[in-house]
């Protein structure tokens, strides 16, 4: 059975999952519509549509031409309450500059790939150090991936609003490979960071301690409202987060002590300048603290990874860690279990009991590999016979 039937001067019909679709153009706008299961009826409908178009009964006034720059503004209005709104706004600037007045229907996978390659070639100016010439660095692939993800979401929303028809052009684009960060601070490094944060500002120290003791994201901490803090139950509640619709995080004594000591100055725990809104960012303060602590490669989000890893290492079930961190997929949570963690080494060492029995007490105790070397009596002998 034919999958595509081209009709010169009219357009075409095509079949997908036993359903025929109409595919034609109206005033430079491509229209693709689901019709039905009957091929001949679909052909007759296509001819009728073309007749209506030629008579002027169907035209551009029937189908809106949506330009990228216009829909980008509508997209930001939709995402205005999202935690990542400010980041989205920044990512949209180069996209709007590149696609501009191009109709959404004219943005093809080839055009998106051109945008991707152009962004990868652009160099970023680094922060200038006194008495040194300005330096630049390559744009990270992860940054371009964030832009592609937003662009894909734009077309998804436009399709839901029936302002874009057809296949999402970003689906055909391959993302840049990313290497996950597994930066976990030692106890000594945590002490240095907290001390340095306290020397920078009391507010930063509170924020860092809350991050390490809850695993909350930076935006969730900075935008925290007093109405979300339940001191009686010891719970911080979020009606909606990045991953889940509802999220409850228990407070340990450290977090309870910190929040109890903060003076209330409005609805937000960490109010912004002059009491307007909430604190927007702590980049400069955190950068100064990590440098002071001798941790130049530390990112604020690494504190969330530290919290998850500490809980997993302490033997907390992964499902519980998942709920505390607010992960939708438990596969995300499994990143916090490292092969070198004691929590994984113990059960693996327990398997040795199936093959070896520890030597009776000799007065000498060993640790790590030395223990395995002193396990002398083999319980199960594995014999390999030559045939």
Are 118 and 212 in the same domain?
A: no
Look up the domain containing 11 and give its range.
Answer: 4-55
Over residues 46-70, mean pLDDT: 73
Residue 178 lies in a domain: no
Residue 22 lies in a domain: yes
Residue 387 lies in a domain: no
The pLDDT of residue 372 is 42
> What are the structure tokens assigned to 31, written together?
């229209």
Q: If you average pLDDT over every residue of the chain, what do you get?
A: 81
Model confidence over 120-164: pLDDT tens digits? 998 877 655 556 677 777 888 888 999 999 999 999 999 999 888
The pLDDT of residue 30 is 78
Computed from CA positions of residues 300, 313, 248, 332, in that sequence, does the dihedral angle turn out positive or negative? positive
Residue 220 lies in a domain: yes
The pLDDT of residue 180 is 67
Residue 182 lies in a domain: no
> What are the structure tokens assigned to 180, written together?
């996950």
Are 91 and 120 in the same domain?
A: yes
258-262 contact pairs (CB < 8 A, 24+): 258/206, 258/209, 258/210, 259/210, 259/229, 259/231, 260/231, 262/206
Are 203 and 307 in the same domain?
A: yes
Are 194 and 330 in the same domain?
A: yes
Residue 63 lies in a domain: no
CB–CB of 375/359 below 8 Å?
A: yes
DSSP string, 22-56: EEEEETTEEEEEEEES-HHHHHHHHHHHHHHHHHT
What are the b/e assignments for 241-265, b being 16+ CB within 10 Å?
beeeeebebebeeebeebbeeeeee
Residue 207 lies in a domain: yes
Are 50 and 84 in the same domain?
A: no
Q: Assign 380 a pLDDT band (cuts: 50, 70, 90).
A: very low
Half-sphere exposure of 340 (CA within 13 A, CB side): 2
The pLDDT of residue 193 is 95
Model confidence over 274-328: pLDDT tens digits? 778 899 889 899 999 999 999 988 999 999 989 988 888 888 888 888 888 888 8
Closest by CA position to 71, among listed 86, 90, 87, 92: 92
**Residues forming beta bridges with residue 285, ordered by sequence position:** none
Are 207 and 317 in the same domain?
A: yes
Helix, strand or coil, per DSSP, at residue 8: coil
The pLDDT of residue 92 is 94
Model confidence over 154-205: pLDDT tens digits? 999 999 998 888 889 999 999 988 766 678 899 999 999 999 999 999 899 9
CA distances from 303 to 27, 183, 212, 226 (A): 54, 9, 6, 23
The pLDDT of residue 378 is 40
Model confidence over 231-286: pLDDT tens digits? 999 999 987 666 556 788 999 999 999 999 999 988 999 998 877 889 988 989 99
Are 293 and 234 in the same domain?
A: yes
DSSP string, 299-315: -TTHHHHHHHHHHHHTT
How many structural domains compose the chain? 4
Model confidence over 312-368: pLDDT tens digits? 888 888 888 888 888 888 887 887 666 555 555 666 677 777 776 555 544 444 444
Q: Is 282 exposed, middle or buried (CB count within 10 Å of its CB: 0-12, 13-18, 19+)?
A: buried
Question: Helices then strands (H, E): number in the chain?
Answer: 15, 11
Are 332 and 353 in the same domain?
A: no
CB–CB of 214/251 below 8 Å?
A: yes
The pLDDT of residue 150 is 95
The pLDDT of residue 26 is 77
> What are the structure tokens assigned to 272, written together?
């912004």
Cα separation, 206 vs 99, in Å, equals 43
The pLDDT of residue 109 is 94
Are 332 and 351 in the same domain?
A: no
Are 25 and 78 in the same domain?
A: no
Q: Can you give the C-alpha Rg of the chain in angstroms?
A: 29
Closest by CA position to 158, among listed 67, 282, 58: 67
Per DSSP, 293 falls in state T
Q: Pairing between strand 247-250 and 235-238?
A: antiparallel
The contacts of residue 289 (CB under 8 Å, 6+ apart) are 193, 196, 197, 199, 200, 204, 208
The pLDDT of residue 63 is 53
Model confidence over 81-118: pLDDT tens digits? 776 788 899 999 999 999 999 999 899 999 999 999 99
């Amino acid at each position: 059975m034919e999958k595509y039937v081209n009709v010169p001067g009219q357009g075409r019909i095509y079949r997908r999952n036993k359903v025929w679709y109409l595919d034609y153009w109206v005033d430079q706008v491509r229209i693709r519509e689901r019709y039905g299961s009957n091929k001949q009826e679909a052909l007759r409908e296509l001819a009728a549509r073309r007749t209506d178009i030629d008579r002027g009964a169907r035209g551009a006034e029937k189908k809106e031409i949506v330009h990228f720059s216009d829909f980008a503004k509508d997209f930001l209005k939709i995402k205005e309450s999202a935690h990542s709104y400010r980041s989205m706004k920044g990512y949209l600037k180069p996209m709007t500059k590149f696609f501009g007045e191009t109709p959404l229907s004219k943005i093809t996978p080839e055009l998106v790939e051109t945008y991707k390659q152009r962004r990868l070639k652009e160099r970023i100016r680094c922060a200038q150090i006194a008495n040194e010439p300005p330096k630049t660095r390559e744009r990270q692939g992860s940054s371009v991936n964030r832009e592609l993800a937003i662009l894909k979401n734009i077309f998804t929303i436009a399709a839901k609003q029936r302002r874009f028809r057809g296949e999402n052009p970003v689906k055909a684009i391959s993302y840049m490979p990313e290497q996950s960060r597994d930066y976990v601070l030692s106890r000594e490094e945590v002490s240095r960071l907290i001390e340095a944060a306290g020397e920078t500002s009391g507010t930063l120290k509170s924020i860092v301690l809350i991050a390490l003791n809850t695993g909350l994201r930076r935006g969730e901490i900075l935008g925290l409202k007093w109405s979300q803090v339940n001191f009686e139950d010891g719970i911080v509640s979020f009606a909606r987060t990045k991953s889940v619709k509802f999220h409850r995080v228990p407070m340990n004594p450290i977090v309870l002590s910190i929040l109890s000591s903060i003076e209330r100055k409005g609805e937000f725990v960490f109010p912004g300048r002059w009491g307007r809104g909430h604190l927007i960012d702590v980049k400069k303060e955190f950068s100064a603290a990590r440098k002071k602590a001798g941790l130049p490669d530390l990112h604020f989000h690494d504190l969330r990874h530290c919290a998850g890893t500490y809980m997993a290492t302490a033997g907390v079930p992964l499902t519980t860690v998942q709920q505390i961190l607010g992960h939708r997929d438990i596969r995300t949570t499994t990143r916090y279990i490292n092969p070198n963690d004691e929590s994984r080494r113990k059960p693996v060492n327990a398997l040795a009991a199936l093959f070896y029995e520890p030597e009776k007490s000799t007065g000498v105790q060993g640790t790590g590999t030395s223990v395995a070397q002193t396990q002398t009596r083999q319980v199960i002998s594995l014999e390999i016979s030559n045939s």
